[in-house]
Structure 1
Amino acid sequence: MSPITVFLSVVLAACLVNGAPTGNNIVAFSAGLTHTISVTSGEVITFDKVFTNIGGGYDLTSGQFKAPKSGIYAFTIHGYDANVDKAMWIELKKNSELLVSISGYDSHSSAGNSVIVYLSAGENVYVQARPNQSFSLFGKADQVYATFSGYMIGEMDRSQSDSYNLFNQFPNFPAAGKCPSSTVSQTFNDHHSNKHVVAFAAGLTHTSTGNSGDTVRFDKIFTNIGGGYDQSTGVFTAPKSGIYKFDFHAYDANTDRAMWLELVKNTELLVSLAGFNSHSSAGNSVIIFVGQGESVFVKVRQTQSFTLFGQKNQVYGTFVGHLIGEMDMAQSDVSPMTGSNHFFFGQH
């Protein structure tokens, strides 16, 4: 890494000191499974290898994460089925509430999912086997497939996490591409929350047939801070310019037709996912610059049609995203020719 890159990284980090959690405010954990285990109905899965546990929220003994602070959290789970005759069926739960699920019907199938939710301090999130299911999760010290990870996007209380546009309260926090002023920063600190937070997560709670070019409408909203996700259209419209991370997952209900989805920004294809077997699961993610007012959505690939599986108690299909940091297009300098990002002062 060049000296100028290091210096600019520090500058950008300083601009975000009142945005993304820093220092003692960081809450993040990641744990993996290093041995094969048999799990039974409703059993909490204990991930035994801790990669990181900033904030001390993850309990290695119980397998549960307890939020040390109230705020908006992102979680991701993955599993790998060791059985040849029993389906893997895993649920991510908040207290006793089902969030999202993953499943694998074939021997050595792999699956994952993600969600963003609000947690009050002291609330628990954990991974468990679905009730009435038993199976084996594969793992070895040198083959860590099953993981449970999470981090706090922004600290806030429940009233501030309501799914409305928080920016109506603070329309100038912070100005696009600029570090917040001391006055605005003090206002931010006084309200004890990240007013710059943009985060949404939505899931599919019913089986839906998608035809060529259809936008997938994820109907269950877990969170929608910033108000960017439109439940009626399935489209996320960026309320602020910046660098965003997006994840999407799906589960194929067909026995004879391939699942094929695309993540699109405006009209530009970003990334795809596909499943060619019955009950196949797939996901993908991307980090990109999105300008204020630009749209991101999940759609069915042209010329394809298939059925996506979902139920209220089996949420496999998800569309999740959040703002990593604010900046304008000039600062992001996303080169369409090289796909690389460069940071410069002044003109270039």
Structure 2
Amino acid sequence: MVQLRCRLLLLAFCLCYLGNIDARRHRSSRVAFSAVKTTNQKMSVNQDVIFDKVLLNKGYGFRPIGVFKAPRSGMYMLTSSLFHLKEELTIQFAIVHQGNVVANFHGTNDWEQFSQTVIIHVKKGETVSIRNVRNNNPTIYGFNFSTFSGYLL
């Protein structure tokens, strides 16, 4: 009876230890990023927004040129919020995955904060960015008002 208890205790210890190894492995493979704009940016058509101040870059997928390059394949939640200066034009931006528009978001001709969020599958090495898709040269406001963030679900 004592031998059975010892074996069960040893088995429980091994399972717990292996579970902790798996948990540590999972924690080390997390991917998350968050970045903001610190300066204003006059945008051309099909130009990516540059988010120059990195707040978090777990997994090292975010490039300060404003592009996220997935270090692992999986489902990602990606979100961006932009603030634009008061200009006499309507602006349109998009979350772009591998050069293809996933979701659009737009603002009117007044000071305005606008945002978009998506959940998409991104393969390792593929890119996601925030892009101006309209030919009217808007100015995106910096000073930490405009953001781009994402994480692996």
- TM-score normalised by the shorter chain: which range applies? 0.7 to 0.9
**Secondary structure of 2:21 counterpart:** helix
Distance 1:185 1:238 in 2: 27
TM norm structure 1 = 0.38
2:92 alignment counterpart: 260
TM norm structure 2 = 0.82
Q: Per residue, is there more helix in 1 or in 2?
A: 2
1:95 alignment counterpart: none
Distance 1:286 1:183 in 2: 37
1:241 alignment counterpart: 73
Distance 1:193 1:292, change over 3 A: closer
Task: Say whether 1:187 aligns with 2:21.
Answer: yes
Distance 1:273 1:184 in 2: 46
Give percent identity, aligned residues only.
26
Q: Per residue, is there more strand in 1 or in 2?
A: 2
Query: Which structure would you say has the larger Rg?
Result: 2
1:250 alignment counterpart: 82
Distance 1:242 1:235 in 2: 17
1:210 alignment counterpart: 43
What amino acid does structure 2 have at the position aligned with 1:247? Answer: T
Give per-residue Cα distances to partners, 1:249-285, cap 9 Å, x unaligned. Answer: 1011132122221110002111111111310110010
| 1:205–1:219 Cα contact (<8 Å) kept | yes
| 1:241–1:291 Cα contact (<8 Å) kept | yes
Tell me by how many angstroms 1:195 deviates.
1.3
Q: How many residues align?
A: 138
| 2:92–2:134 Cα contact (<8 Å) kept | no
How do 1:62-211 and structure 2 match up within 5 A? Answer: 185-189=19-23, 191=24, 194-211=27-44
Give the superposed CA RMSD.
2.0
Q: Which runs of 4+ in 1 moved over 4 A?
A: 182-185
| 1:260–1:304 Cα contact (<8 Å) kept | no
Consecutive unaligned residues of structure 2, counting only runs of 5 or more, are 1-15
Distance 1:184 1:316, change over 3 A: farther
| 1:262–1:270 Cα contact (<8 Å) kept | yes
Give per-residue Cα distances to partners, 1:278-324, cap 9 Å, x unaligned. Answer: 1011001000000111100001114231001122xxx2210000000
The answer to which structure, 1 or 2, has the higher relative contact order (CA under 8 A, 6+ apart) is 2
How do 1:16-31 and structure 2 match up within 5 A? Answer: none
